[in-house]
Amino acid sequence: MSLLEITDLRTYYRADDGWVRATDGVSLSVDRGETVGLVGESGSGKTTLAKSIIRLFPDNAEIRGGSIEFDGTEITELTDKELRRRIRWQEISMIPQNAMNGFDPVYTVGDQIVQVIRHHEDGVSKAEARSRARDLFDELGIEPDRIDDYPHQFSGGMAQRAMIALALALGPSLVLADEPTTALDVVIQDRILETITEKQAEIDSAMIMITHDMSVVSETCDRIAVVYGGRVVEIADTRTVITNPRHPYTLGLRNAFPDISDDDQELISIPGTPPDLVDPDEGCRFAPRCPFAEEDCWDVTPEPREYEPGHLVECHRADEIDYLQEAAGRKAT
Ligand code: ATP
């Protein structure tokens, strides 16, 4: 059985003009120790999906349907208190987009780590928890004495490392990493990613890595789930998604990011804008931007289907993609 099994999850936000269907019928599983990448443009619903798992979302968000089974427990049925006591930090932790916002500015970073450790592990003395926090800082390349600093005394990179320390302090089975490096200088992005994956391997935790950067997923993820308009439109192992995508949106994303090993590759962005999530149209949500859309794409919502074992895709044209691409290429030349 998978560590995490999400089925037909619907998380909506209440807005003035109706419900924003940010996660709209998503199914996804994550195995123990596995890293799954969530990729997609801004606003596609990646963060909402991740935050739904530990219910760390704003007051206007609501899980309207579906199930999230974590290690045999249906966590949508847990109360907030149970979730805080049994799951959050201890079993599932999150590295947010901007670590600085994850810390409380009025306490030292060390005090916050000590608090999390002692809240979840009975019988750990303050001295013991402090010593663990110092060790974690050391392992993550931060001078251990800096546990007594306040968040504002940290640089962005250091705060991100400290947040990684906090997220991994209790050895969770699943880490949700939401664009853990985008707020940082490119020079330290790679180092931080390396640190995350090293520590993850050490404690053998699974990870959901959210990013809009295909090169990050290709380096760190075992599988990739492509998110568009609140749905997972394609999922397969990383190599397959990169070398043999079947959804035109995945093709577009792949073309929008330069291959790091190919300096001459042209960067093509996907024309058009993401769908309205308050009142989405019938049919495929990508149809208005899809170069290969035909009549059925506008009328009939595609269901997920297994293109090959382990490779799911929601597209009516999935079987014809190679031919359609070739034809488009011929027309362009
Ligand atoms: P990004 O990469 O920019 O973080 P994302 O793919 O993570 O984007 P989400 O942040 O999950 O996407 O947003 C999905 C949709 O939900 C978007 O249309 C967004 O505008 C909407 N949304 C997010 N937060 C709220 C909120 N608090 N209230 C109403 N709508 C929201």
**pLDDT tens digits, 155-180:** 888 898 899 889 988 999 999 999 98
Q: Is 211 in the pocket of ligand 1 (CB under 6 A)?
A: no
Six token digits for residue 234:
């394609």
- DSSP 8-state class, residue 121: S
- Model confidence band, residue 80 (pLDDT cutoffs 50, 70, 90): very high
Spatial neighbors of 2 by CB under 8 A, at least 6 apart, are 29, 30, 31, 32
Q: Is 231 in the pocket of ligand 1 (CB under 6 A)?
A: no
Q: Is 38 in the pocket of ligand 1 (CB under 6 A)?
A: no
Six token digits for residue 98:
């901007």
- Would you state the pLDDT for residue 265? 52
CA of 259 to the centre of ligand 1 (A): 28
Q: Is 137 in the pocket of ligand 1 (CB under 6 A)?
A: no
The residue to mutate among 38, 48, 179, 211, having the most atoms of ligand 1 within 8 angstroms of its beta carbon, is 48
Q: What is the dihedral of CA 140, 221, 88, 104, to 10 degrees?
A: 50
Q: Is 14 in the pocket of ligand 1 (CB under 6 A)?
A: no
CB atoms within 10 A of CB 213: 16
- Model confidence band, residue 260 (pLDDT cutoffs 50, 70, 90): very low
Strand order from edge to edge, sheet including 4-15: 18-30, 4-15, 61-70, 73-74
Q: Is 199 in the pocket of ligand 1 (CB under 6 A)?
A: no
| Amino acid letter for position 330 | R
Domain boundaries, the chain: 4-91+172-332, 101-171
* H/E run at residue 308: strand 305-308
- The whole-number average pLDDT for the span 266-277 is 80
Pick the CATH number of 4-91+172-332 from 1.20.120.160, 3.20.20.70, 3.40.50.300, 3.40.50.2000: 3.40.50.300
**pLDDT tens digits, 273-296:** 889 999 888 899 999 999 999 999
Residue whose CA is at the smallest distance from ligand 1 atom 25: 13
Q: In sequence order, what are the beta bridge partners of 68?
A: 6
